[in-house]
């Protein structure tokens, strides 16, 4: 039986007149204990709700920051260095180091550069790499030094 139902029943019993003061007092003491427990639960719930709201606000801030970062798309330093090299060389350059070719492949997958057909010279693979429109836009937006 809920607290409200118990109070309503007690009120009905008092109205009928067949209930003594001791019974009323014991019922009121019981109701008082239940009310105090409910108040504690309510305070705990309000505290938890406040904590949840704070965490939600923090999570929203994190989400907004991550979305802004994703829009800006900051490249790893190695890949950015290749774009800067291409920017200084007029948009196209030949690369021969395997590590540099690896990073150029990553840039090509993101449409920042286009990779041409490799040629072999002096035992090394040389690959022409050119900036795409997206690569040039990245350089303009991030103003290399």
What pLDDT score does 24 carry? 85
What pLDDT score does 145 carry? 52
- Residue 40 burial class via C-beta count within 10 angstroms: exposed 0-12, middle 13-18, buried 19 and up: exposed
- Dmax (CA) for the chain in angstroms is 112
Contacts of 19 (CB under 8 A, 6+ apart): 10, 13
- Residue 60 burial class via C-beta count within 10 angstroms: exposed 0-12, middle 13-18, buried 19 and up: exposed
For residue 31, pLDDT beyond 80:
yes
Write out pLDDT tens, residues 106-130: 999 989 999 999 888 888 888 999 9
Q: What percent of the chain has pLDDT over 90?
A: 29
Is the pTM of the predicted complex or chain greater than 0.85? no
DSSP secondary structure of 21-44: HHHHHHHHHHHHHHHHHHHHHHHH
Separation of alpha carbons 81 and 102, rounded Å:
13
Write out pLDDT tens, residues 51-107: 999 999 999 988 887 667 556 677 888 998 998 989 888 888 888 888 888 999 999
What pLDDT score does 71 carry? 64
């Amino acid at each position: 039986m809920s607290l409200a139902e118990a109070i309503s029943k007690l009120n009905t019993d008092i109205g009928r007149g067949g209930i003594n003061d001791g019974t009323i007092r014991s019922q009121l003491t019981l109701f008082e204990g239940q009310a105090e427990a409910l108040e504690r639960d309510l305070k705990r719930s309000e505290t938890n709700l406040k904590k949840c709201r704070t965490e939600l606000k923090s999570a929203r801030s994190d989400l907004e920051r991550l979305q802004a970062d994703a829009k800006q798309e900051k490249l790893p330093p190695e890949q950015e260095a290749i774009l800067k090299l291409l920017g200084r060389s007029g948009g196209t350059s030949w690369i021969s180091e395997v590590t540099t070719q690896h990073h150029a492949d990553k840039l090509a997958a993101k449409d920042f550069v286009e990779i041409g057909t490799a040629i072999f010279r002096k035992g090394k693979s040389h690959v022409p790499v050119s900036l795409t429109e997206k690569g040039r836009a990245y350089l303009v937006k991030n103003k290399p030094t």
